[in-house]
């Protein structure tokens, strides 16, 4: 019994010395690794960029995804977005991409360098040179396109140019609409339409 008590006492006394020494060694190791880390690996953004993001409340890689009333899938992404200072429902975006997938499998892709998204009216306005590419063969360029995220419709009141299944065209306005004859949408060009017809190869 006395020998077992002596061993127990020795173990306790040994731990009293060993544990603090081990903790000190671990703490020293932590400081060693902390000193070896470079500042750039600790802070991925430059100070000026952090200040700009804080002042502008900028968000990187935002996205919106949902379905229209006609059950078409809509997805909008951007490189960055920042809220409007006066209108809480408005966001200014850069590098906007919008995609509409129709029920029949057809797709419409919109892109622009700048734009705005209104969360109240559920509209995305692509500006600064907008481009539309449809899987049915249409390629359209214009200054601005407004996409209704709730209905899936799109329109442009500025001059549009592009190519389609019939050839090159030019118009003063463009609209993507839906009706009973075209449940998955069709383009309607108005205001002085010019078409250079390209005959299909036999």
Domain 59-197 has CATH 2.60.450.10: yes
pLDDT of residue 118: 93
Quick one: pLDDT at residue 34?
35
Residue where the block lists tokens 């809509």: 74
- pLDDT value of position 202: 62
| pLDDT score at 7 | 53
d(CA 191, CA 124): 23
Q: How far apart are CA 96 and CA 140, in angstroms?
A: 16
pLDDT of residue 192: 93
Q: Helix or strand or coil: residue 115? A: strand
pLDDT at 132: 96
Residue by residue, pLDDT tens for the chain (202 residues) are 444 444 555 544 554 444 444 444 443 333 333 333 333 334 444 444 445 554 557 788 888 899 999 889 999 999 999 999 899 899 999 999 999 999 889 999 999 999 999 999 999 999 999 999 999 899 999 999 999 999 999 999 999 999 999 899 999 999 998 877 877 788 999 999 999 987 776 6
């Amino acid at each position: 019994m006395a020998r077992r008590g002596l061993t127990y006492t020795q173990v306790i006394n040994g731990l009293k010395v060993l544990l603090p020494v081990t903790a000190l060694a671990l703490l020293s190791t932590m400081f060693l690794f902390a000193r070896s880390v470079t500042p750039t690996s600790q802070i991925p953004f430059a100070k000026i960029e952090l200040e700009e993001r804080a002042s502008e409340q900028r968000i990187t890689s935002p996205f919106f995804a949902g379905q229209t009333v006609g059950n078409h899938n809509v997805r909008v992404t951007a490189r960055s977005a920042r809220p409007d200072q006066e209108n809480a429902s408005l966001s200014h975006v850069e590098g906007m991409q919008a995609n509409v997938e129709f029920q029949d499998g057809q797709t419409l892709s919109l892109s622009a360098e700048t734009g705005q998204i209104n969360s109240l009216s559920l509209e995305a306005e692509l500006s600064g040179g907008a481009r539309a590419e449809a899987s049915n063969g249409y390629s359209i360029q214009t200054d601005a396109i407004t996409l209704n995220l709730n209905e899936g419709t799109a329109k442009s009141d500025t001059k549009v140019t592009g190519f389609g299944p019939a050839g090159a065209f030019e118009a003063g306005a463009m609209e993507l609409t839906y009706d009973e004859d075209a449940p998955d949408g069709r383009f309607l060009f108005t205001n002085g339409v010019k078409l250079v017809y390209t005959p299909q190869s036999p």
